[in-house]
Structure formats: structure tokens, C-alpha cells
A and B are shown apart, each in its own frame.
Chain A
Amino acid sequence: MSEQLQAPSPLIPIPRAPAPEIPVPAARRDVQITIDGKRVTVLEGATILDAAKTLGIETPTLCFLETLTPVNVCRVCVVQVEGSRPLVPACSRKVEEGMVVWTDSERVRLSRRVVLEFLASSVDVSTALQLQAYMKRYEARPEKFGPRAATVVQPPKIDNELYVRDYSKCILCYKCAEACGVDAQNTFAIGVAGRGFHAHIATEFEIPLTDSACVYCGNCIGVCPTGALMGKIEYDMRAAGTWDESRQTRGMRANRALAGRPNCESQFAARSLRHAGQPVHQRPLRLAIHTISQMTPLLSGPTTCGRRAEGQSETLSILFPPPHGSGGGITQFVRLFAFFTPATSFTSSTSTKCDTLLDNMFFTSSRRLQPVQQLPA
């Protein structure tokens, strides 16, 4: 490590503490495995899901997302691995040299089908498009359990102006709890509660979201694969019959049409109010909220902002989950990092820069965006 700390770019402030020495990771070996009779070589540490993808094998997943720690609870991705008695979850099982995997055997198909039947017989899957597609693919017949099969039906929870939580549609994939917790937001407003068939996602003692630790970041809405968590606008539009799913699939460009909707300002107003009584260090970044609220007309989906102090600088991270329905609800996040020094004032020109940058990002690339963009301070 050199004595003179050098920032990688003059735009990024110099960190105060010496940067930790990051050990050079050992070179990853190649691992050869066989999937459905075809040899494939992948890097050590890859999952069976990764390896299958390189062969163009499409593996169904519900609880898996690239940006979240795999919890492997939905079990629709199970595959048969020779030498293993039960089937194994492709999304989390790491490849091992010489592994022989079958992704479409009779056993695999049966388990995937029954799991989908279990879900669809107990949960309202009417807005879970991806799950419906899987059901078609595996010829699932959830009605086989009869009309009296127990379900998780319950009234939707509408306790704030932004989000609706309709747990009749929840398949308990854990994604929202992960996104609220250590995998993204570190807010821990919701968690898994109860046990068995009655396990569910809840705030403590089921208190309303407005009393909970929720900062309305929207990560949970972005990751929900079934529409159990939904923006209120989408929910209301669906209820009114004015929701047009086909208009939602054209990516961010389409969302521009939603710009100027009245909720954008009220979202963040509600959020600032709720934290008004808290000490400053517990409040969300107020200026950032202001900034984002000016950017929000660009988006219909909820945005996230997080603040992390690093030395004298602060990192503002803004996370844009795509709105529910675009790409089946399982799509990449767009993450924008902005670096600000304490001197940075959030003037309108800063916002303009953000606007311009976002504009460029969304309109130059419709699919995979660069994960990190630097913002001039």
C-alpha cells in the first residue's frame, strides 16, 4: 500500500483511513461437470444454475435473485445429482468436479410440478406471471387437492399511501425480507414470522408499516415475484381495470409516461414526516430525498436511497427496482452510486446532473445497465 493515498479518480474523494488491504483471491480453477449428458466447464464456485445457463438450459426459479443470498426455499429449481439421495437446489449448490446433473428427469419434473401445485393450491397466483408460465410448462394441476384445500387467503394490508401488501399472493420466497435486511437495505422492517403453513412475512406484532422501521425504499416491491407487494398506483389501477400489463413491458421508457403522477411527491413527503421525530443520524438522508423526489418523475417504480458515511465522504446509493411486471419481476437492479463530500450542496444543478445522468442511462441501454456509475460531485 502506498503512503500517499490516491483516489482512483479526482472525482472521488480521498478516504480518510487507509484502505484495507484486500488479499488477491486465489485463481479459480475450472470445474468440469456433465449436465443432461453434455460436458460443460465453469469456474469453481459457480452454481449448477450458472452452469446450466451456459448450456442454454432454462431452470425455473422463484426465490432466487442474483443480488440476494440464495435461500433455496421454493424448491422449483431442484435438479438430480448422481450420488445424492434427495434432489438438490440448482440455485445454491456449487459445482463439484465430475458432478453428473440431470435437469429434466422424471423425478425432477415431478418435484417441480408438485411444488408448483402446492403453491398454486394455497396462494392466489393471479398476478404471478412467471409462476403461471412454469405451471404451464410442467402441466401443474393445483385443483387436484380439491376445493377445500387450505389457503393463505386474507384481506390485503393497505396501511399507507405507497404500498399494498396482499399476503394472499405470498409464496414466502423470503426475497422481501432479505432485501429489507442484510442483502440490501439493512432496515429490518419485515421478517418471517410464525411457523409451518402459517409462516408469513410480518412487521413485529403485525403493526402497520407506518409504525414500523420501514423507510419505504421499495426494495421489497421490486423483488416480489408474485405481486403480493405492489405499488398502490398499480394496485388501484388493477382494481379499476385500467392497468395495461403490455404497456409495462417496454422497459423504463414506458414509465416516462407516468411522470408527474401525484404520488411521486407524496411518497417522499410521507417519508420525511414519519422520521421527523427521530434523531438526525437515524433519519434518511433528507437532502437526498429532496434530490430523488426531483428525479422520481423519471420512474414509476419505487426508488431507494441509502446513505453510508465513509471518512469525510458520503455515499448515496439509489436503487431502482423495475416496476412489477417488467421482465417477470425478476430483473436486475440498477444501482447508482453518487459520491458527495460534506461540502456538496444539493442544489438544483446537482439534481439536474442526476436527471441528465439517469436520462442517459435509461435511454441509452434498455436491458443491462452498467452496475456502477460515478456521479460528478
Chain B
Amino acid sequence: MDLHLNAAKASAEERVAMDAALKQLESSPGDASLTVTSDGQADGNVPTNGLPTRSKRHLLLPVLHAIQERVGWISPGALNYASLQLGVPPAEAHGVASFYEKFSLAPKPPVVARACDDIACMTRGAGALCAELERKLGPAGKPCSLGKAIWQRSSCLGLCERAPAALITAAGEKPRERVIAPAYAESIASAVLDAATGKLPDEIDTLNAKVSVPQDGRSQLRLLRRVGQVDPASLEDYRRLGGYEALRRAFEWGPERVIREAIESKLLGRGGAAFPAGKKWEAVHQQRESNRPHYVICNADESEQGTFKDRILMEGDPFAVLEGMTIAAFAVGAKRGYIYIRGEYPYATQRLEQAIHAARAQNFLGEDIGGRGFTFDIEIRRGAGAYICGEETALFNSIEGYRGEPRNKPPFPTQSGLFREPTVVNNVETLVNVPEIILNGGAAYARIGTANSSGYRLFCVSGHVVRPGVYELPFGPTIRDLIEMAGGVGGTGRLQAVLLGGAAGSFVSPKELDTPLTFEGTRAIGATLGSGVVMLFDDSVDLEQILLRIAAFFRSETCGQCVPCRVGTIRQEELLQRLIARKPLGSKEQESALLKEMAQAMRDASICGLGQTASGAILSAMDRWSLFL
């Protein structure tokens, strides 16, 4: 392949930023010696020609981050330089950079304030906040604060328990990121001004875990028991409260027994798809003789509207995530793991970085862990604003330095995942359950909860509720029980609707509150637990506007690869706009029939879960309430 670069040259600043990032990436224990292709291909060929350069493609995403963070946008010269360093054709690098919301390919002020106007924040005054920002800073998308800043509306930032939320990023020699939640127009405006004048302090103002986890009876909690109780930066604290005991036990048991216990525990994935975690492990473990590298990925790209549980686990108990991953890697025989974390989580990212550093220093990661001859290391990859990258195959492409477009399944990740090798992908919460299973045994874990939903589950309670936050329950209680735990309905106190499972989930009415929050219980009413979202809307909420926001979310987050989802999501939004304007094409019934037809085609013909569920919540609301009359 000829690498044809155009004439644009990178500035010294851009080159320095990229060189530093590359140097750091290549010296990182998690990435050093990474060979993308297996040593022995099935056909006996060993590809070598040009591989040293081309094998760096998986560093494209972090290198793009480095430019964006330093300069505030990715210039043609910078892209050329990145292409040359990594051996990626510029047209492809451009395709990757333009895929992510956080990357700008046109000059942009260095300070960007993102104000969330998504559904959870809508219930907490996001509309008024954005209007106030417009008065203070001028219209969204236009430079403000001496031309050094810009503010824009954003999809869900995963801070729903302290809505409304905002995220400020400031590019520069020392890039800064600041979360403001709850956000007020004044606090955003003053932080923007501080950032624009270089006065935003360096330190990180940790979010108060007690606000995020308001649950009473903390001693009963398992998954959340350390959150807010320990110093998340201290490995000693973690070990004092039983940390890394499970890993020691796993080493004693050996991989086969770990997998057996995981299967016995009936642990279902907590990311939304609810696939048996132990079965995934078994499928990868069975290929241990194949001489192919195996990977373990922690899916921390939590971007579903209203979901924030994984963020709280990573911020409050990062070592538990590492321990869960290490046990998974030991079980399946993986030497390398990745944590793919959404780009809007600066604190969680920092916590995990610190934790990985500490774990390496004390030999809980690296070579010969605990003297058991087991080698495993973890690398963090930050997403850059793409909901779709939470889809596991899109996530692989994103890590590999390609556009985050989902792959067709089969083949499944356990056969052909990251770098086309056998890969286990587990959600953060799923992994935090793993030490519990190892310590108590799979059978004991399976007895917790109900017959088909075993163990503990985190619920992200937000919207019109008295004490929003993340709540841990053994499976079994109903929606009503959970709302009571969270102090009851907030706002007007009169509940109109509950969104279960996020944008890809469905709405339920107050009549359905006695539904148990279990996989089988929600399925029985045609709903889903999804990622554990329980978002409440009181009777002052205009549900039609909520539905329109959900439609806008899917329209802006579809990757655009397959036709049904790329066009279907925009047609769905247009249709809702017509209904809200009371200007249907033909009658309302005709529009409703058209929506159902589109929904069926999206559900049947889309490549991945995004398109397949893009109409679910909207149809569930239209089934339950007479809207658009």
C-alpha cells in the first residue's frame, strides 16, 4: 500500500502531543509487544511485510484523543502526521475521526461545555438551564468567552442522579475536564470563563459517593459495599475489605472450576443483553489449545440514556473491576485485557488508571501475578462520544482503530472478537459480581434472587424521584418497592410513567408497578431490565417531548452503516415531529401504521441492537397512553 499524504503539515505543538502520546502508549505494559496477528496462522503463514507499522493502527483512537486534547481540533496536518506514524491511510483516519462526536475536524475553541438536555435532565430543568445558558453565553454552537469557548447541547452524560449535568473540556498543554452536576447556568458560565482564561484548577473534585448511593442499610450491600467507604485510590483499603481474596481463591481452584462456578451461579450479563456470563467464558476457554491470543474486555462504554451504575462502581471501587477482569482472564486464558470506557467519564478513567498503576506496582497485574505463573495486563481505551461503541463488535472495531461500526454476527466474539481472536466481553457490573461468586460459590449465588434471575442487580433510579441514585437489590422486589426505597415519586408526586431499561427499553404505566424487577418479570409485560434504568416521570411531563428526545437520540447515535437504522431513525423522528405539530400525513392512524411498519423493518433487518430496539420505547408509550390526539 502506498501511503499518500496531502500537503498539509502538522504544527510543532501537534507533533509534540502525538509523539508524547505514542511514546507513552508504546511503553505501556498493556500495549507493549502487542502483536496484532497471532503467531501461527492456521495456514502456516507468518505475515511480516510492513507489519511493524501497520500493527500500530490500534493506537489511532488514543492518538486522535491526544491531538484533540492538546489543540481542540484535529487539523489536516495533524491527521497526516498521525497517518504517517501509524501507517493508516489518511482517508481512513479521517473516516475514524469523523465518526466520533468528541473529535472536531474543523477549528473549534479549546473550551467546550456540553450541557445535557437528555430525558433524565429534562425532568430536572435542563430546558430552562439551556435557555439560561443561551442568555449568558449566547447561542449554542457559537464561540463565547472571548472566542475561546463554545457550549453545546449533549446527549445523556451518565450523571442522571445529579441532573442536570454538564461536562467541560479544555484543550491545551495541560488538558482539563470538569464535570458539573447538578449544573446551574452560573456555575457553568464561571467554569467556562475559568477554563478559557487558564484558571481551571488541576485537581479533580470527586463526586460525593454518598449522593450517588443513597441507599439505607449499607451493611447489607454487596456490589456497592465499598463505594464511598474506602479510598478508591488505595489498594490497601481494598484488600482490607476483602479485596483480591477472590483472585487468590480462583488461583487455588484453577480455570475449570472457576468457569463451573460461574455457570452454576447463573450470572446473566448486566449490560443489557443478559447473556450467561459463564457460557461466554467457557466458549473462550475451550479454545485455549488453539495458540490464538485471547482477550478480556470490560465494556464500560455505558451510554444508555439514564444509566450511570458502572460509572459509580468505577469511581468508587475501581479495584473490584480489575479483580473481576483478572479472574475472567485467568479463567479463559487471556493475557491482555482492555477497559473500554466512555469518553464522558473523566473521573472514572482517572480512578481506573490509578488503580491499574497500583495493581501493577503490587503485582496484581503484570507478569507472574501472585507468583502463580499467570500473566495479565490491562489497557484503558477511552471512547470519544459514540453510543454505538457499547455494542460489543463496534467496540472491537473502535479499539482496533476502525470506525465503530458493528459487525455482523455470527461469528460471535467468543470465536472472532478483538483482532478477530476469541474474546470475552463483560459489563462492569457483571465483572464486579464475579468476586462475589468466587467467594460464596456459584450455587450459593444462584440461590439469591429468583429462579431465573440470580444474584444482585444495580438499578439507576432517576427522574422525578425523591432520592435518585444507584440502588442494589437482590432480584425479586417490584418497581413499587424500588420507588419506595428511593423515597417515593418526586416532582408533583403523581406518577405518569416509568422508563425501564433506557432508550432501548420500554415505558410502563403506574398500573404495572407491581411487576417484579427480574428478567422474567419484565419480559412478562413486554418490557426489559436492559441496563437497569428506572426513570420516573410525573404528570407534569410532556411525554410526547420525551419520545421525541429519544427519537433524536437514536438519530444522532446510529452509526449509519445499515440502511434500516440509518434512514429509519431519521424517518421516525420526522414522523414524531409531524405528530407533535398535529400535522400528520393522512390521518394519525396512518402515521401510527407507518411507524409500526418502519419499526418492524428496523427490528428485523438492522445489523445490531441499536436499530433493532430504536422504536421499542416509543411504541411502548404509544401502546399505553393515547398520545398525539
Cβ contacts under 8 Å, A92 to chain B: 408
Whether B98 contacts A121 by the Cβ 8 Å rule is no
Cβ contacts under 8 Å, B567 to chain A: 118-119, 121-122, 197
Interfacial residues of chain A within 23-75, with CB under 8 A of chain B in the complex: 23, 72-75
Q: Give complex CA distance A48, B408 in Å.
A: 15
Cβ contacts under 8 Å, A244 to chain B: none
User: A73 touches which one: B570, B574, B578, B607 (CB < 8 A)?
Assistant: B607
B524 within 8 A of A: no
User: In the complex, how many angstroms separate the beta carbon of B414 from the nearest chain A beta carbon?
Assistant: 17
A146 within 8 A of B: yes
Whether B43 contacts A111 by the Cβ 8 Å rule is no
Q: Give complex CA distance A200, B603 in Å.
A: 24
Which residue of B is nearest A62, CB measured?
B563
A-B contacts at CB below 8 angstroms, number: 178
B34 within 8 A of A: no
Chain B 591-629 per-residue mask, 1 if CB under 8 angstroms from chain A, else 0: 000100110110111110000100000000000000000
Whether A23 contacts B94 by the Cβ 8 Å rule is no
Q: Interface extent on B, as a size class?
A: 35 or more
Give the interface SS of chain A, mostly helix, strand, loop or mixed.
Answer: loop
Whether A188 contacts B92 by the Cβ 8 Å rule is yes
Which residue of B is nearest A189, CB measured?
B91
Q: Give complex CA distance A74, B558 in Å.
A: 15
B99 within 8 A of A: yes
Q: Give complex CA distance A146, B99 in Å.
A: 29
Binds B, one of A205-213, A249-257, A293-301, A312-320: A205-213
Whether A213 contacts B2 by the Cβ 8 Å rule is yes
Interfacial residues of chain B within 553-607, with CB under 8 A of chain A in the complex: 555-564, 566-571, 574, 578, 585, 594, 597-598, 600-601, 603-607
Q: A189-B91, A191-B91, A213-B91 are in contact. Are A196 and B557 (CB under 8 A)?
A: yes
Cβ contacts under 8 Å, A148 to chain B: 574
Whether B91 contacts A149 by the Cβ 8 Å rule is no
Cβ contacts under 8 Å, B91 to chain A: 188-191, 193, 202-204, 212-213
Cβ contacts under 8 Å, A199 to chain B: 559-561, 566
B44 within 8 A of A: yes
Residues of chain A whose beta carbon lies under 8 Å from any beta carbon of chain B: 20-23, 72-76, 78, 86-87, 89, 92-93, 107, 110-111, 114-115, 118-119, 121-122, 144-146, 148-150, 171-172, 181, 186-199, 202-205, 207, 211-213, 282
**Would you list the 4 A-B pairs with minimal beta carbon distance, nearest first?**
A199-B560, A213-B4, A188-B89, A114-B601
| Beyond A118-B601, A122-B570, A195-B101, 14 extra complex contacts between A and B, CB < 8 Å | A86-B604, A114-B601, A144-B594, A146-B574, A148-B574, A149-B571, A188-B91, A191-B94, A193-B94, A193-B95, A193-B98, A198-B560, A211-B7, A282-B4
Query: What would 30 A/B residue contacts be, using CB atoms closer than 8 Å?
Result: A72-B408, A73-B607, A75-B563, A75-B564, A92-B408, A93-B408, A110-B604, A111-B604, A115-B563, A115-B601, A118-B566, A118-B568, A119-B567, A145-B585, A146-B585, A187-B1, A188-B1, A188-B4, A189-B4, A191-B94, A191-B95, A196-B560, A196-B569, A197-B555, A197-B558, A199-B560, A202-B95, A204-B79, A204-B90, A207-B6
